[in-house]
Structure 1
Amino acid sequence: MKPDIQLLRINYLRGPNMWTYRPVLEVWLDLGELEDFPSNTLPGFNERLTAALPALVEHHCGVGERGGFIQRLHEGTWCGHVLEHIVIELLNLAGMPTGFGQTRSTSKRGVYRMVFRARDEQVARAALAEGHGLIMAMINDQPFDVPAAVARLRDKLDDCYLGPSTAAIVSAATDRRIPHIRLNDGNLVQLGHGARQRRIWTAETDMTSAIAENIASDKDLTKTLLKAVGVPVPEGSAVKSPEEAWSTAQDIGLPVVVKPSDANHARGVTLDLRKQDDIHAAFHLADKEGTEVLVERFIPGVEHRLLVVGGRVVAASRGEEFHVTGDGTHTVRQLIEQQLNTDPRRGTAEEFPLSLIVLEEEPVICLDLQRQGFGPDDVPPAGKQVMVQRTGTVSNDCTALVHPEVAHAVSLAARTVGLDIAGIDLVTPDISRPLSETGGAIVEVNAGPGLLMHLKPATGSPQPVGQAIVDHLFAEDETGRIPIVGVAGSRGGSIVSRLVAWLLHLNGKHVGLACREGLFLGTRCVEKRDSSRWDSAHRLLMNRVVNAAVIENDARSILTDGLSYDRCNVGVVTDMGGMEQLADHDIQDADKMFKVMRTQVDVVLSDGAAVLHAADPRLAEMAELSDGEVLFYAEDGSLDAITKHRAKGGRAVFLRGGAAVLAEGPAETSGANLDALLKRFGPGKTDAATLLAAVAAGWALKISPELIAAGLDTFVPDLHLA
């Protein structure tokens, strides 16, 4: 019996980090005795593991081809690496595909750092716990229930991660490189940063009117407004008693529909009612689900759901009825379990387009069965078809069939109610023909509609509804991004950050600043404590008045949390100092420090710039890592790195005669007087290189040399800490 692998430290890196651009779970683990036992020395281990997780054959690992990880297993690899692949495979099986993972040894024998991609911290921690249990069971030849572990992970995923509708919108935003921030444990998500953000809550947006939502929740009022603009709706009215429901049904003409005025998901809706007793029973069902009961003319045809986004129909689904066929032996309840609930489209999680049918929770279905002469425990004759469900089942894509006049009526309905995103329910025998020809009508307008039926239809093609919503919120050339400047280093970072924030302020921006000296909004200090942390910076990105942000980072914050932003316009790296304070992160040589500090350069946007201190040869090496432009700065403009950079037409900032020189290729512009600002700071408070970094960052932001000079002339160091 081998002792357990010890999990020494578990840390969630929420932003770009030394491992990858994405959030990861970093685990420090001690193999203990297992350090002496790679996989090929553990009897039967490889066979047990691949039998438990056969899809491990799909893991390429470092080999780069299918079966690569299996090859590593047989050659002999250490258990930390094996645990990484086990966790990734469990996440794949649970429905959160994960492809990234790494395991690296530390300076202490038997201790490793393992990381894997983690879209949600709680799900990742749960996967780690299951993976840890599985690997120890395989090592010690003990039983382990993989399906049960995967089921637990799926439950955790359902509890913690975004619902399918929200996830589709976020995925579409990511495809357009629009950043996102999850604002609560549910489906409230911010797309974009600062003043350019938009918010979604499932399929509702910050453009969705509260008045429109209230109108949509009142079906009688909705119908009145639609009728006024010429949209076909079924005749009907609100009633207050079963007797009034029967009387109204007679006035309208049978058959009728009885439904609550303000319920969702077809709860309490009973169709095709022709008898007084049935209408009385349907009234009581509807009355339990809403504040008012409606009786409407029954529209013959098929239920449809059309999705309108920004006044345009972007998807449509058609419903279907579900029946069971009697065999003379089984009850209705048993037939439902055998013939309907086994449908792979049905389930209890949000990802399933159809729900499981539980008769105790479906009084409308029970009433429909009763109208056909059956109770749940009755046995239908062999060959007898019994209708079970005909509402709330729109899951067959028919987008391509929608007639233009139907689309016009549906779009008009959404505009009339005032919804930017709406799910329109209509009934028609044929959606490819105008409603005026088929006698079809719009029966309901829904705010915050679910998208799953369009994302995973039972038949037909999925529709890009997430993309449609993102395109509705952001113009084609919008990314939701505000200018972000990231400043990394151990010396002078706060001064660089404050100076750059001041330059942006003079350039007309409402600037958020998070640095060691505090948290600032504009020129106002809102928090006098070290704010060079992930949570402080994130507050700026969530602030709707901030249209530019300057954020200081050091190596420890990158190692502890990752960067607070996914990409930045300007990334400044001042130095690679501070390594002596990072022994707890096993940063003990310049190469490891390089990997940490390059994170700031890795996230520079292609139309942005990396600002690097050319006097440090290792920082100059980072130039090739930048997706954007590179600006070098140094006190000495004759440095080899600057000379070669200028020879290629690059930009650089250096010191000459006490003033900053802004050079682009052979051209030079004399800029700010640094000597005067150094005197205002006072002896030993800063140095010229630090001020040059701020000048270079301002120039990278396309701030004019004249405004940069004015900014340095007017910057008062102590005033900004008041």
Structure 2
Amino acid sequence: MTADPEAGVGERPDAGPPPVRLAGIRFLWGLNVFADQPVAVARLASGPETRTPPPVPIELAGRVAAHLARQALAMPAADDVVSLVRGIADAALARCGAPDSRGVRLRPAMAGPWDVVVPLDHSDTAEAALRMAAGLVAAAGGAADGDAIDAALAARLSALARGWTGWRPDVEQGEIIATCRRLGVRWKRLSYYPDCIQLGEGRRQKRLLTTVTGETGHIAVRISNDKSLTNLRLAQQGVPVPRHRIVQTPAEAERAAAEHGYPAVVKPRDGRWNQGVAVVYADDQVAEAFAAAQDKGGGGVVVEKWIAGREFRILVAADGVCGVHEREAPSVLGDGRATVAELIRRANADPAQVDPADAWSGPIVLLPIVERCLAWQGLGLDRVPEAGRRVLVNPLPFRKYGGTYRDVSDAVHPENATLAVRIARLLELDIAGIDIRLADIARPWTEGPAGVCEVNAGPGIDNIAVTGRKRGVDVPGRMIDRIHPPERRRPLPFVLYAVAPGDEGPARARAGELAAALEARFGWTVAVADPAGVALAGGRLRIPREHGARWAVELILESPEADAAVLVMPQSLLVAHGIGHDRIDVALLADSPWRTRLAEVLESAGTRVLPFRSEVPEVLEALAGSSARPAEIDDSTRSGHRHRLGE
């Protein structure tokens, strides 16, 4: 027998009445009457209708516990079938790293005895966890086939984990999100493209795909991704770069390396993440390096001259240097007694070297390049270097091979900072990660060997963020401050007309008057939304893809044309599905059974609640005192108006 995924986990259509069934799931977005955060609410019901959930029968508890144990999940403590469903959903969410109901604070007198409430970080994950938990209890209570229940439960848990893993922010997004939270910068993942983060709201937004901003042009990214074009562009403008040649065959690579002189660097023309990069010391090493580079990129292979010195990553954003770290290649210090192999073993066993307090490092990895590098120095793993001799183990300074990253942001010479900013401008990059080899970052680049190895249009920030934190430097914070400065962080003003039946027409008229007043006084483009659509910039958009006000709020927040928003929404919709946003500046609530509860929710979030019949001047006065109120209308608007709100 196979499990019917629609009927529940392993549920058999001909089984007896289940102890509990799923009556429905609804999502409450933004501020809502149920909880202190967006939530998914599952309404359960019992086969034989009862007013309160029945206790968990001993036999059912045993069966559920056995099914969970076979999936390495513990049986939750539960007094009744509803708390059992909640506990199973929480266990599944916690196992895949998603928030569970233990972090939700319910508002008084809203959740009924048959409701299961979980956080709404990701709607698909929340719904999947609730359906899986309710389905398991229903199937186990209905005495469905045990093997079918196990198979369906395993499939649903696996799908749940895949869905959450695919949606949750990656390391780079996580750094940006954590920085925004720390700085109080409003952010969101785009509703239609979650890989992209939007800083700010409406017209004041800035979009980031990793560290590529919306202002970065396609041509700039293409040139930066091509190491040869980058080299040529910078060389034309007098920027120091190593001599290089594009090669198509191993023989061409050998000739180029011999012309440049050894050691030489072999790498993909369009490679990323240091993949396929090799340093060669002799002709017989070139063919292997060429094949590795060709395997990791396209468009040919680059052979370039090795630049002596130390390697640094400089992060530039919006014409300013945000952070610099040095990439120290792995090395050991001879003592006149131990072999190189023993010195490496000691280094890897020393926490002070593998995990230094002021830097980020890792164990030295023994790769074929290690023996070649040692041979170039007249050594081998079994040789004993003299006391005090610094032995380079691997010329590639990457942490994954044992390199050490150390923040030097506050040691950068002004001329080197100026060079880095100029490089980003030449390539027209809003954010750039510049890898450069210098004798010393604290001395002008003109005083010694110097060369830009490559420039990254979407540089990773996790490494430079970690090294900065180890020395008290907030590199991601500096980046956010430059690309999205404080003067552009004011939230989009939102006014809400929460209407009761019969009030829709007058409320729409007053909303139109308010929008016209804001546009006339400040030159704002005001979005006006109701359940049927959004009027914005002279058009009306009718795309209600889901219940509630959320679809309208999402559209307005992500619109680069919106300066403010006025919502006209039925109170029944706001109660059922949430207000759709985590903040409202001014709300006007019609009289209804829900008015008091909605007012409590809004006022607890800092909303100014006005009488429903308030005139436009009163709304403008209230808006002037809100957190979204600009001291002046800044350059983010298209108008030359410089009035203050309330004047």
- How far apart in 2 are the matches of 1:460 and 1:153? 36
Per-residue Cα deviation, 1:347-380 (whole angstroms, up to 9, x for no partner): xxxxxx99999x9xxxxx987489699xxxxxx9
Q: 1:163 Cα shift?
A: 2.1
- How far apart in 2 are the matches of 1:411 and 1:254? 31
AA of the residue aligned to 2:514: L
- Structure 1 stretch 474-483 or stretch 248-257: which is displaced more? 474-483
Equivalent positions of 1:268-307 (< 5 A) are 268-271=276-279, 273-288=280-295, 289-300=297-308, 303-307=311-315
- How far apart in 2 are the matches of 1:532 and 1:92? 28
Per-residue Cα deviation, 1:233-285 (whole angstroms, up to 9, x for no partner): 222232343333222222221110111222211222221x1222322332333
Per-residue Cα deviation, 1:140-199 (whole angstroms, up to 9, x for no partner): 999999999988755433211232222332343345252425233441233333222222
- How far apart in 2 are the matches of 1:426 and 1:265? 16
Percent identity reads 23
- How far apart in 1 are the matches of 2:383 and 2:125? 48
Does residue 26 of structure 1 match 2:41? yes
Q: 1:488 Cα shift?
A: 0.6
Query: Of the candidates 107, 111, 125, which is equivalent to residue 123 of structure 1?
Result: 125
- How far apart in 2 are the matches of 1:286 and 1:83? 53
- How far apart in 2 are the matches of 1:113 and 1:240? 65
Q: 1:459 Cα shift?
A: 9.5
Q: 1:31 Cα shift?
A: 6.1
Answer yes or no: is the 8 Å Cα contact 1:104–1:112 preserved in 2. no
Query: Of the candidates 474, 493, 510, which is equivalent to residue 499 of structure 1?
Result: 510
Answer yes or no: is the 8 Å Cα contact 1:13–1:560 preserved in 2. yes
Does residue 555 of structure 1 match 2:571? yes
Equivalent positions of 1:214-253 (< 5 A) are 214-253=222-261
Q: 1:573 Cα shift?
A: 0.6
Per-residue Cα deviation, 1:576-630 (whole angstroms, up to 9, x for no partner): 1xxxxxxxxxxxxx5x77435644444455xxx32134xxxxxxxxxxxxxxxxx
Per-residue Cα deviation, 1:397-422 (whole angstroms, up to 9, x for no partner): 42457433544443332233221211
State the SS of the aligned residue for 1:187: strand
- How far apart in 2 are the matches of 1:702 and 1:458? 40
Query: Of the candidates 21, 26, 29, which is equivalent to residue 11 of structure 1?
Result: 26
Q: TM-score, normalised by structure 2?
A: 0.69
- How far apart in 2 are the matches of 1:469 and 1:241? 41
Answer yes or no: is the 8 Å Cα contact 2:531–2:544 preserved in 1. yes
Aligned residue number for residue 476 of structure 1: 486
Equivalent positions of 1:703-714 (< 5 A) are none
- Structure 1 stretch 212-221 or stretch 141-150: which is displaced more? 141-150
Does residue 169 of structure 1 match 2:176? yes
Q: 1:568 to 1:177 in 2, by over 3 A?
A: farther
AA of the residue aligned to 1:415: R
Q: 1:38 to 1:429 in 2, by over 3 A?
A: farther
Answer yes or no: is the 8 Å Cα contact 1:85–1:101 preserved in 2. no
State the SS of the aligned residue for 1:233: coil
Equivalent positions of 1:525-536 (< 5 A) are 525-527=540-542, 533-536=549-552
Aligned residue number for residue 489 of structure 1: 499
Answer yes or no: is the 8 Å Cα contact 2:528–2:534 preserved in 1. yes
State the SS of the aligned residue for 1:220: helix
AA of the residue aligned to 1:158: T
Equivalent positions of 1:127-276 (< 5 A) are 127-128=129-130, 155-174=162-181, 175-271=183-279, 273-276=280-283
Q: 1:280 to 1:129 in 2, by over 3 A?
A: same
Answer yes or no: is the 8 Å Cα contact 1:258–1:295 preserved in 2. yes
AA of the residue aligned to 1:306: I
Q: 1:155 to 1:548 in 2, by over 3 A?
A: same
Query: Of the candidates 413, 416, 424, which is equivalent to residue 404 of structure 1?
Result: 413
Query: Of the candidates 687, 693, 700, which is equivalent to residue 622 of structure 2?
Result: 700
Query: Of the candidates 37, 59, 69, which is equivalent to residue 55 of structure 2?
Result: 37
- How far apart in 1 are the matches of 2:271 and 2:294? 10
Q: 1:428 to 1:523 in 2, by over 3 A?
A: closer
State the SS of the aligned residue for 2:53: helix
- Structure 1 stretch 423-432 or stretch 131-140: which is displaced more? 131-140
Q: 1:154 to 1:413 in 2, by over 3 A?
A: farther
Aligned residue number for residue 611 of structure 2: 612
Equivalent positions of 1:51-130 (< 5 A) are 77-81=79-83, 83-84=85-86, 87-88=89-90, 90-97=92-99, 100-101=103-104, 112-128=114-130
State the SS of the aligned residue for 1:477: helix
- How far apart in 2 are the matches of 1:106 and 1:566? 21
- How far apart in 2 are the matches of 1:39 and 1:519? 51
Does residue 442 of structure 1 match 2:452? yes
Q: 1:214 to 1:594 in 2, by over 3 A?
A: same
Aligned residue number for residue 662 of structure 1: none
Q: Which ranges in structure 1 are unaligned for 5 or more consecutive residues?
A: 57-69, 324-338, 346-352, 360-364, 374-379, 577-589, 614-632, 634-652, 654-691, 704-722
Q: 1:216 Cα shift?
A: 0.9
Does residue 575 of structure 1 match 2:595? no
Per-residue Cα deviation, 1:121-156 (whole angstroms, up to 9, x for no partner): 223334445656888999999999999998875543
State the SS of the aligned residue for 1:453: helix
- How far apart in 2 are the matches of 1:388 and 1:251? 20
Aligned residue number for residue 545 of structure 1: 561
Q: 1:402 to 1:41 in 2, by over 3 A?
A: farther
Answer yes or no: is the 8 Å Cα contact 2:330–2:404 preserved in 1. no
Per-residue Cα deviation, 1:205-258 (whole angstroms, up to 9, x for no partner): 112233321221121232233345554322223234333322222222111011
Equivalent positions of 1:287-686 (< 5 A) are 287-288=294-295, 289-300=297-308, 303-319=311-327, 368=369, 391=398, 393=400, 396-400=405-409, 402-405=411-414, 406-427=416-437, 435=445, 439-456=449-466, 460=470, 464-491=474-501, 492-508=503-519, 509-516=524-531, 518-521=533-536, 524-527=539-542, 533-576=549-592, 590=593, 594-596=596-598, 598-605=600-607, 609-613=608-612
- How far apart in 1 are the matches of 2:129 and 2:444? 52
AA of the residue aligned to 1:447: A
Aligned Cα root-mean-square deviation (Å): 5.3
- How far apart in 2 are the matches of 1:107 and 1:167? 33
Answer yes or no: is the 8 Å Cα contact 2:373–2:395 preserved in 1. no
- How far apart in 1 are the matches of 2:47 and 2:476? 48
State the SS of the aligned residue for 1:19: coil
Q: 1:307 to 1:92 in 2, by over 3 A?
A: farther
- How far apart in 2 are the matches of 1:498 and 1:561? 24
Q: Which has the higher contact order (CA 8 A, sep 6+)?
A: 2
- How far apart in 2 are the matches of 1:298 and 1:129? 59
Aligned residue number for residue 636 of structure 2: none
- How far apart in 2 are the matches of 1:505 and 1:268? 59
Q: Which ranges in structure 2 are unaligned for 5 or more consecutive residues?
A: 1-15, 332-347, 355-359, 375-380, 385-391, 626-647
Answer yes or no: is the 8 Å Cα contact 2:515–2:528 preserved in 1. no
Q: 1:701 to 1:50 in 2, by over 3 A?
A: same
Q: TM-score, normalised by structure 1?
A: 0.63
- How far apart in 1 are the matches of 2:465 and 2:137? 36
- How far apart in 1 are the matches of 2:131 and 2:539? 45
- Structure 1 stretch 522-531 or stretch 8-17: which is displaced more? 522-531
Q: 1:444 to 1:388 in 2, by over 3 A?
A: closer
- How far apart in 1 are the matches of 2:435 and 2:64? 55
